[in-house]
């Protein structure tokens, strides 16, 4: 639902405001107000509203301070109301029953007594704590023979100190820790980094710190001026002072936020530490839910009872994968799409999931976080637009290998080649992709019978015609048979380096598909030496190589009679493909 309300302008700082609560956060960003909360069972819930931007002149200095305060208060109240609605909807039946029993134990009379007691304590604090106590302390310390201005300054200072001490004590109160920790997560998000948590919590222009500064400095300045005419005049003048301070405090915090000088942020921390505490994983996740919801969706849709919102699921997955240093957005999307049986474009339309779907996705995510590749988790992978079954008997094809296929297909089309040999075929990905997207006759070999069984099954499933031969490179081939292209992604890891590989590779990929001998170049030498005997005149040899191997493989090919040798870089600008043609 869109609210026809003129609110914050489009400058960088006012485009993002975080409103911390004891059970979650509200996030205003890009014309959207999103509320993300967590219930007593640890489930996260999200909802929000669309907010229309206001006129451009609201971005002007002075005015933007008023807008930030008054519209911020409005949005804060709206966040609290939304969070209460989310909490009520999300409560489980047994929790509702327990709450109902507790509610019955409070009579109407006891409720009024608690309300009156709260009002009385608030009145006594304001009247005695900020009214009479500073004057009494001053009189006891300095006596009656002091100038009016010094008296006003000292009373203002004492009141400032009392408020500061009270806010300091509130910081250690258990019931405030959630609020301040969520504010820490919000400040961390506004700072735009997960750097040093202390530095990120000094982000000065968070809304709670702004309110704290307004309260502290309005108390000081109003006490310092000490207007004493009559009640109406005092109220009007003090209100004017309060309103006059709003833009000054806002502009000051804004300047400190954008300033490069570190010491200014350290000064700002004198007040910011009062309302910020270190966020743990849960606080960061709840903050992430709001961010994902605002970033990914145009409108808000509250998840039904017993369902999990997609943004909450993604936030939990991101935490799990980042903690294991294996976060990749494409992996996250692939897991969700595979479990739901959809493609990546379709999952953007999914707003909530069943509990079972959520559990299945998180189980796959946990396996990925432990280093298990997606192909092993699901038993298949996608390569060059085709689906391939894989297991621990074959190397799962990598994205970079698609570049090898693309380069070979280009030569096949440009030179009208019709015979291709794929050595060390493994899952058959290279051979099948070439057979599928060209008219060439493709032969593939591998020394592993188990790998050939997987490759043959993949060819059948992809309706690709490939001749598979059990062979140690060229040994099982007819000597009279020649090819236009020989292509290979052979093992290229040094034997001594295999144990140093990431668990994702050394544990789940077969050693036979990794071990390239003492220097990692054994297969390149064997293939390059024998390839000319099996190539037509001016035929091509294509290799995929490991990082840092391109120059040596180029030299090996030159020594074996290949010319016009070229390389292709992968997506990380690493020379990944080396190919050349026979001289004869």
Q: Where are the alpha helices (DSSP H) in 143-261?
A: 148-171, 174-191, 197-200, 207-225, 231-258
Of the candidates 316, 319, 314, the one whose C-alpha atom is nearest the C-alpha of residue 340 is 314
Q: Which residue has the higher pLDDT, 492 or 196?
A: 492
- pTM, two decimals, is 0.74
| Alpha-carbon distances of 385 from 382, 411, 429, 433, rounded to whole Å | 6, 20, 11, 9
Average pLDDT over every residue of 433-438: 96
How far, in Å, CA of 398 to CA of 38, rounded? 39
Rg (CA), the chain: 34
- Decide: 274 and 6 in contact? Cβ < 8 Å: no
Domains, the chain, in order of start with CATH, read: 2-91+120-272 (no CATH), 391-582 (3.40.50.150)
Average pLDDT over every residue of 534-542: 93
- Summarised one tens digit per residue, pLDDT across range 380-428 is 888 998 999 998 888 888 889 999 999 999 999 999 999 999 999 999 9
Instruction: Give percent of the chain with pLDDT exceeding 90.
Output: 36
Question: Residue 312: how many CB atoms within 10 A of its CB?
Answer: 25
How far, in Å, CA of 369 to CA of 75, rounded? 38
Instruction: Give percent of the chain with pLDDT exceeding 70.
Output: 83
Compute φ and ψ for 426, nearest 5 degrees: 60, -120
Among 236-240, 447-451, 523-527, name the one with the lowest average pLDDT: 236-240
pLDDT at 573 over 80: yes
Q: Is 445 helix (H, G, I), strand (E, B) or coil?
A: strand
- Summarised one tens digit per residue, pLDDT across range 66-92 is 889 988 888 888 888 888 887 665 554
Q: Is 356 helix (H, G, I), strand (E, B) or coil?
A: helix
- Decide: 8 and 53 in contact? Cβ < 8 Å: yes
Torsion, CA 187, CA 192, CA 198, CA 202, rounded to 10: -50
Q: Check residue 134 and give its pLDDT.
A: 55
Give the H or E element holding residue 211: helix 207-225
Give the H or E element holding residue 401: helix 401-415
- Summarised one tens digit per residue, pLDDT across range 269-308 is 888 889 888 888 999 999 999 999 998 888 888 877 778 8
- Summarised one tens digit per residue, pLDDT across range 99-136 is 444 444 444 445 445 445 554 554 445 444 455 555 55
- C-alpha dihedral sign at 471, 474, 480, 485: positive
Of the candidates 383, 269, 371, the one whose C-alpha atom is nearest the C-alpha of residue 320 is 371
Q: Are strands 2-7 and 44-53 parallel, antiparallel or unpaired?
A: parallel
Q: Check residue 7 and give its pLDDT.
A: 41
How far, in Å, CA of 337 to CA of 332, rounded? 9
How far, in Å, CA of 420 to CA of 540, rounded? 10
DSSP string, 523-538: HHHHHHHHHHHHEEEE
Among 31-40, 483-492, 532-541, name the one with the lowest average pLDDT: 31-40
């Amino acid at each position: 639902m869109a609210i026809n309300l003129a609110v914050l302008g489009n400058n960088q700082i006012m485009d993002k405001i975080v409103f911390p609560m004891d059970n979650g956060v509200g996030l205003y960003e890009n014309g959207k107000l999103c509320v993300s909360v967590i219930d007593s069972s640890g489930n996260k819930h999200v909802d929000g509203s669309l907010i229309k931007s206001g006129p451009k002149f609201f971005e002007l200095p002075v005015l933007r301070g008023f807008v930030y305060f008054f519209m911020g208060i409005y949005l804060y109240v709206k966040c609290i109301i939304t969070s209460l609605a989310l909490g009520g909807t999300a409560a489980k039946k047994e929790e509702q029953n327990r709450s109902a029993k507790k509610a019955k134990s409070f009579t109407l009379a006891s409720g009024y007594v608690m309300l009156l007691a709260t009002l009385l304590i608030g009145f006594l604090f304001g009247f005695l704590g900020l009214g009479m106590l500073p004057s009494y302390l001053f009189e006891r310390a300095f006596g009656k023979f002091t100038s009016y201005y010094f008296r006003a300054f000292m009373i203002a200072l004492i009141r400032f100190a009392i408020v500061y001490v009270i806010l300091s004590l509130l910081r250690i109160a258990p019931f405030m820790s959630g609020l301040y920790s969520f504010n820490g997560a919000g400040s961390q998000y506004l700072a735009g980094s997960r750097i040093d948590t202390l530095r990120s919590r000094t982000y000065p222009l968070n809304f709670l710190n702004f309110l704290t500064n307004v309260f502290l400095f309005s108390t000081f300045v109003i006490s310092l001026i000490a207007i004493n005419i009559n009640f109406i005049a005092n109220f009007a003048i003090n209100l004017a002072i309060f309103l006059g301070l709003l833009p000054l405090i806002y502009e000051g915090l804004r300047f400190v936020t954008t300033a490069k000088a570190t010491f200014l942020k350290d000064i700002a921390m004198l007040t910011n530490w009062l309302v910020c505490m270190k966020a743990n994983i849960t606080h960061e996740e709840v903050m992430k839910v709001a961010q994902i919801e605002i970033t990914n969706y145009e409108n808000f849709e509250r998840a039904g009872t017993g369902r999990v919102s997609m943004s909450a699921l993604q936030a939990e997955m991101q935490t799990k994968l980042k903690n294991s240093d294996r976060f990749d957005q494409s992996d996250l999307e692939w897991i969700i799409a595979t479990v739901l049986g959809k493609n990546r474009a379709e999952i953007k339309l999914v707003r909530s999931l069943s509990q079972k779907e959520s559990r299945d996705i998180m189980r796959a995510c946990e396996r990925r976080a432990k280093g298990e590749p997606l192909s092993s988790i699901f038993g298949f992978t996608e390569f060059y637009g085709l689906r391939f079954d894989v297991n621990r008997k074959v190397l799962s094809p990598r994205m970079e290998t698609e570049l090898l296929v693309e380069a070979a297909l280009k030569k096949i089309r440009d030179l009208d080649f019709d015979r291709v040999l794929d050595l060390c075929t493994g899952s058959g990905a290279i051979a099948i992709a070439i057979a599928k997207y060209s008219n060439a006759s493709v032969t593939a070999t591998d020394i592993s019978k188990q790998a050939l069984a997987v490759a043959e099954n993949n060819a059948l499933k992809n309706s690709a015609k490939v001749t598979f031969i059990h062979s140690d490179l060229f040994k099982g081939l007819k000597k009279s048979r020649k090819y236009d292209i020989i292509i290979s992604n052979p093992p290229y890891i040094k034997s001594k380096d295999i144990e140093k590989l990431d668990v994702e590779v050394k544990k789940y990929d077969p050693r036979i598909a990794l071990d390239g001998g003492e220097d990692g170049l054994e297969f390149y030498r064997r293939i390059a030496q024998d390839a000319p005997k099996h190539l037509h005149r001016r035929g091509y040899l294509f290799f995929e190589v490991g990082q840092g191997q391109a120059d040596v493989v180029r030299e090996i090919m030159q020594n074996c009679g290949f010319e016009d040798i070229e390389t292709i870089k992968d997506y990380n600008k690493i020379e990944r493909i080396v190919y050349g043609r026979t001289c004869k």
